Structure 1
Amino acid sequence: MKIPARLRRLAGVGSRFLVVGALSTIIEIAVFNLLVFVWGWDPVLSKVVASLVALINAYIGNREWTFRHRARRGRVSELVLFLVTNGVCTLLGAVLVWLGVVALEAIVGHATGALALNIVNLISIVIVVLIRFVLYHKVVFRGAPTS
């Protein structure tokens, strides 16, 4: 069975996106755990800060590797779209962590432990990664419009 060229290209872009995302996720989880469990920060604030730290890796990796084949529409325009997209995704991730913590505390009747909190965080990351890929592919790195 022959795979269509468009599907092969999408699989290649998706694979590179997942590699960049995996590295960004490792960075985000490490920073999140450092902030929460070493420095005693609030989990929601930690989620926001950790996401912003991982964002630096995500922009460079996606612009220079994942979507390098696409024509640039202008660095400032692209960066603004990237920041807005990630602002929305960071907010969504923080809301998901907050909802997860509230739900777990309601179920168990006390504050969540490290394992439960990290599971909630990972679930939020998976949901946000899917949304982020679609937005990067369709909006942020879509290339300059052709005339």
Structure 2
Amino acid sequence: MDRRSRLRRLAGVGTRFLIVGGISTLIEVGAFNLFVYVFGWDLVFGKIGASLVALINAYFGNREWAFRDRNRRGRAAEIVLFLVVNLVCTLLGAGIVWLGAEVVEGITGHAPGPALVNVVNLGSIAVIVVVRFLLYHYVVFRHTPKDDVDDASA
């Protein structure tokens, strides 16, 4: 497969990944605000809970649509890798939210309000999107050498 075809294919996968991620982000932001501002959860626990809710949409959207053409190594192994990647990303996102809230509090002298917390949360999501795509692409839903041979003969 030539370079242009690979870039076009990567752009297609990336676009589908971003659509699934956009829907998951809406779910995560809604759940985060519900957990923190309606149920009174701590910011970090709210972030973790919201990430877990969005994770269900993310798995099925990515497996069945964004990375649908990838070799399936076995559902159990794939789910374990998906969960490990998302545990790492969730903890990284929660750490970014915590650090961002601490920085805002250090600068302003008081706890950040909902608007600033959501800005920090969206910033954490932006960082995690890049990390998550790379890990999904190269680890969870990766192409195997057999996939490349099949692609060349198709």
Normalising by the residue count of structure 2, what TM-score does the alignment of the two structures yield? Answer: 0.91
User: What are the superposed Cα offsets for residues 62-114 of structure 1, whole Å, 9 maximum, x if unpaired?
Assistant: 00000110110010110000000000000000000000000000000001101
Please state how far the C-alpha of 1:145 moved relative to its aligned partner. Answer: 5.7
Distance in 2 separating the partners of 1:70 and 1:136: 11
Distance in 2 separating the partners of 1:61 and 1:103: 34
User: What corresponds to 2:131 in structure 1?
Assistant: 131
Task: State the aligned residue count.
Answer: 144
Tell me the percent identity: 63
Q: CA RMSD in A?
A: 1.1
User: What corresponds to 2:15 in structure 1?
Assistant: 15
Please state how far the C-alpha of 1:60 moved relative to its aligned partner. Answer: 0.2
User: What are the superposed Cα offsets for residues 116-136 of structure 1, whole Å, 9 maximum, x if unpaired?
Assistant: 000000000000010000000
Contact 1:73 1:144 (8 Å CA) reproduced:
no
Which one is further off, 24-33 or 135-144? 135-144
Please state how far the C-alpha of 1:30 moved relative to its aligned partner. Answer: 0.1
Q: Any stretches of 5+ residues in structure 1 without a counterpart?
A: none
- Partner amino acid for 1:126? A
Distance in 1 separating the partners of 2:64 and 2:80: 16
Matches within 5 A, 1:51-90: 51-90=51-90
Runs of 4+ in 1 over 3 A off after TM superposition: 143-146
Query: In the alignment, does 2:135 pair up with 1:119?
Result: no
User: What are the superposed Cα offsets for residues 3-55 of structure 1, whole Å, 9 maximum, x if unpaired?
Assistant: 81100000000000000000000000000000111111101100000000000
Distance in 1 separating the partners of 2:110 and 2:6: 50
User: What corresponds to 2:26 in structure 1?
Assistant: 26
Q: Any stretches of 5+ residues in structure 2 without a counterpart?
A: 147-154
